[in-house]
Homo-oligomer: A and B are copies of this chain.
């Protein structure tokens, strides 16, 4: 048996100990009822005498009683917590997605654990494991790559909703129509009479990036144009150089499709150093619609994704999964993208090549 300090007074308690929080029994004692009655009064007060219920609530309030979620979770065998595992909270797209998830979770009565993998496989593995040990009620996962392994969660029977980047055999999936968006964007560049569009993308093991690259490629192929693809690692130090090298090469592009807004920044940096202007010397269109898109000169043309709504949709699927019958097959929700033409993708009538 444990040797607890005498609970009688301050005698056995060291001064440095945090104050012991009131428990159900304390409330019960104060209200002169049993713990069962307190528990019932505080949860489903239907089956409890209103008079007693009031007495209980008064006592609870007076003592500053706060239910211990740990004990409750143990007894209920489940938490009211979700894990949100994503690759890079700095990317405004994921920031918005996170807001959507958090917002909806809060509405459904869940708290959310944020795990930022920084696109690192090791961290992702650690986090999936941590989430499983925390016995989260569910998880929204943006996998690092197509070989990410969510089995730590799945084996534990924890529902997982995958967001943004496909991951097979992993339950539900919410994403935007990446391929179609890339097709639209590339066709837009061509309709503006750009003839050598480049696709600035991410490593090929990033599913969504790869789909966008393919959408781009399909269009340039169909038009008999060369595919100019540049896959920039997430952790590259010399990102701007890669674009500048591209511009210096023999087969320099005359326009760009960037598959996320951080790459648009990279391209804009490179262009600035080369003293090239978008919407004039070169064309530029990017996936995502970051807050700054409308304050650059000229404003940035984009393929906007409903990032916040994707987060909300993921949350909705997750609650259904948690409440619902596991029998139901995996569902995929594909949100549509929106082409927003601003200035950066335009090509002036008499531009030189």
Residue numbers of A with Cβ under 8 A of B are 15-16, 18-19, 21, 64, 66-71, 73-74, 79, 81, 84, 89-90, 92, 95-96, 98-99, 102-103, 106, 111-116, 123, 126-127, 129-135, 152, 155-158, 262, 265, 268-269, 272, 290-292, 294-297, 325-327
| Residues of chain B within 8 A of A66, CB atoms compared | 129, 132-133, 152, 156
Q: 4 new A-B pairs (CB below 8 Å) besides A102-B116, A272-B294?
A: A112-B114, A113-B114, A262-B291, A272-B295
A18 to B68, Cβ gap below 8 A?
A: no
Contact between chains at A157 and B18 (CB < 8 Å):
yes
Question: What CA separation (Å) do A134 and B296 show in the bound complex?
Answer: 44
A113 neighbours in B (Cβ, 8 Å): 81, 111-114
Q: How far is it, in angstroms, between the C-alpha of A326 and the C-alpha of B98 when the chains are bound?
A: 34
Closest to A123 in B: B106
Q: Are A99 and B95 interface neighbours, CB within 8 A?
A: no
Tell me, in angstroms, the Cα distance from A327 to B14 when the chains sit together.
12
- Per assembly, the copies of the chain total 2
Q: Are B68 and A70 in contact (CB under 8 A)?
A: no
Interface contact B90-A95, CB-CB below 8 Å: yes
Given contacts A113-B113, A265-B291, contact A68 B135 (CB under 8 A): yes
What separation, in Å, do the CA atoms of A34 and B332 have in the docked complex? Answer: 46
Chain B residues with CB under 8 Å of A130's CB are 111
Please, how many angstroms separate the alpha-carbon atoms of A132 and B19 in the complex? 13
CA A296 – CA B67 in complex, angstroms?
Answer: 51
A95 near B102: Cβ-Cβ < 8 Å: no
13 A-B residue pairs with Cβ-Cβ distance under 8 Å, sorted by A, are A19-B155, A66-B133, A66-B156, A69-B134, A70-B73, A74-B74, A81-B113, A84-B114, A262-B291, A265-B291, A269-B295, A292-B295, A295-B296
Q: Most chain-B CB neighbours within 10 Å: which of A111, A130, A272, A294?
A: A111
**A102 B114 Cβ-Cβ under 8 A:** yes
